[in-house]
Amino acid sequence: MTIVLRKRREIEPACGIVHAQTPGCRQMRGLLSEGSGLTSRQVATRLGDLGHHVELLSATRICLARFTHVRKIHPVPRVGREPLAWFDAASAIAKARGIDIRFPTHE
């Protein structure tokens, strides 16, 4: 039996969700899928604390995540009533705003 040892490739470390000021990492632009639940509030707070740019989609004017580090709230149709219109709006917003990651926070 022959064992072949291969040279390990040098892999550039992924930044993941780390502080935006970490050397070699850049600020992410994230778009949360909704802002009324506790999950979205926690995600928005954590990403904002880490220095990332957080925006969210909301069918209502007042939502729980509004009171966190969210920089912009985008009005969209209700996902339960008009899922395709919501998806089209979310896609258009993400493209227009240069969003790096769409984060699903529906509960």
Residue 73 lies in a domain: yes
Domain count, the chain: 1
Q: Half-sphere exposure of residue 87, counting CA atoms within 13 Å on the CB side?
A: 4
What would the pLDDT profile of 73-90 be if each residue is shown by its tens digit? 999 999 999 999 999 999
Tokens of 3: 């064992």
Confidence of residue 62 (pLDDT cuts 50, 70, 90): confident
pLDDT the model gives residue 10: 46
Confidence of residue 14 (pLDDT cuts 50, 70, 90): very low
pLDDT the model gives residue 12: 44
Owning domain of residue 88:
29-103
Residue 8 lies in a domain: no
Instruction: Give the global pTM.
Output: 0.76
Computed over every residue of the chain, the mean pLDDT equals 82
Residue 40 lies in a domain: yes
pLDDT the model gives residue 34: 92
For the chain, what percent of residues have pLDDT higher than 70?
77
Q: What is the mean pLDDT of residues 31-52?
A: 90
Residue 80 lies in a domain: yes
Residue 10 lies in a domain: no
- Tell me the backbone φ, ψ of residue 103, rounded to 5 degrees: -110, 115
Residue 74 lies in a domain: yes
pLDDT at 104 over 80: yes
> Domain containing 59 — which CATH number?
3.40.50.20
Residue 41 lies in a domain: yes
CA angle 83, 39, 18 (to 5 degrees): 110
Residue 5 lies in a domain: no
